[in-house]
Amino acid sequence: ETGVTQSPTHLIKTRGQQVTLRCSSQSGHNTVSWYQQALGQGPQFIFQYYREEENGRGNFPPRFSGLQFPNYSSELNVNALELDDSALYLCASSPDGASYEQYFGPGTRLTVT
Amino acid sequence: AQKVTQAQTEISVVEKEDVTLDCVYETRDTTYYLFWYKQPPSGELVFLIRRNSFDEQNEISGRYSWNFQKSTSSFNFTITASQVVDSAVYFCALSGYSSASKIIFGSGTRLSIRP
């Protein structure tokens, strides 16, 4: 148990739709990172937020966006869903000054049809 | 650029055998962290170990041991006397030392332990 929760567990969407995935970080952790894990691959870094500001971004298009709230919750939004967006989405929270120390949630499995 | 290579896509051994998972990394950073994670079929990433680049001492934790060799940029993971419960996908990963670091994962090694 890492103390990081994600919702929903599973989600099925249609191509072109929009989706919001949610993450609740450990209390006191002001950094949250999001990763996409396609089937058979390792997680790929999407972006990181620190105190409600984006603090780094991987090689993902702007239709992937995020929000972080003061209550240690955060969201990953994906617009104009594509079939290739089907993946496990993981969030991870980190204590201040130690973003290498990441506590992962159980993930949300998104299927786009 | 940072990169982690796990050349072994899948490994299958019989229970009680020893097995080593290989990991080779690339980074221009002089200070960095290396990790191993386990991902069982449930999908959650389970943290196993973090080593910083200053510490090349090998580490043993029960049946698990890790061999870090900076000279060859390798961070290999050995399971001694494997058990069926060790079956999972194992990821080697790399992170910078700064406060805004992301973790770069390898592609994973799927380990199957046969009874």
Tokens of B32: 């960095």
CA distance B45 to chain A (A): 6
Could you tell me which of B99, B111, B98 has the C-alpha nearest to residue B36?
B111
Query: In chain B, which residues have their Cβ closer than 8 Å to the Cβ of A103?
Result: 47
pLDDT at position B1 is 80
- Whole-angstrom distance, CA of residue A107 vs CA of residue A113: 19
- Whole-angstrom distance, CA of residue B68 vs CA of residue B76: 7
Cβ separation of A104 and B95 shorter than 8 Å?
A: no
CA distance A31 to chain B (A): 9
pLDDT at position A96 is 83
Bridge partners (DSSP) listed for residue A64: A78
Query: In chain A, which residues have their Cβ closer than 8 Å to the Cβ of B99?
Result: 96-99
**Residue A69, phi then psi, degrees to nearest 5:** -115, 160
pLDDT at position A49 is 94
Q: Using an 8 Å CB-CB cutoff, list residues of chain A that contact chain B.
A: 33, 35, 40-45, 48, 50, 55-56, 58, 88, 90, 92, 96-107, 109
β pairing state of B19-21 and B74-79:
antiparallel
Choose among B43, B100, B103: nearest Cβ to A102.
Answer: B103
Query: In chain A, which residues have their Cβ closer than 8 Å to the Cβ of B45?
Result: 43, 90, 104
pLDDT at position B101 is 74
Tokens of A92: 């991870």
Cβ separation of A41 and B97 shorter than 8 Å?
A: no
- The CA radius of gyration of chain A, in Å to the nearest whole number, is 13
β pairing state of A103-104 and A108-112:
unpaired
**Residue B94, phi then psi, degrees to nearest 5:** -140, 140
- Whole-angstrom distance, CA of residue B56 vs CA of residue B70: 7
B67-70, long-range: CB < 8 A, 24+ apart: B68/B34
Considering chain A, what is the average pLDDT of its residues?
94
A66, A34 contact by CB (below 8 A)? yes
Query: In chain A, which residues have their Cβ closer than 8 Å to the Cβ of B102?
Result: 33, 45, 48, 56, 58, 99
Query: In chain A, which residues have their Cβ closer than 8 Å to the Cβ of B7?
Result: none
Residue whose pair of structure tokens reads 């090694």 in the numeric block: B109
- Whole-angstrom distance, CA of residue A66 vs CA of residue A50: 11
Cβ separation of B101 and A100 shorter than 8 Å?
A: yes
pLDDT in tens, chain B (115 residues): 889 999 999 999 999 999 999 999 999 988 999 999 999 988 889 999 999 998 888 888 899 999 999 999 999 999 999 999 999 999 999 998 775 678 999 999 999 999 9
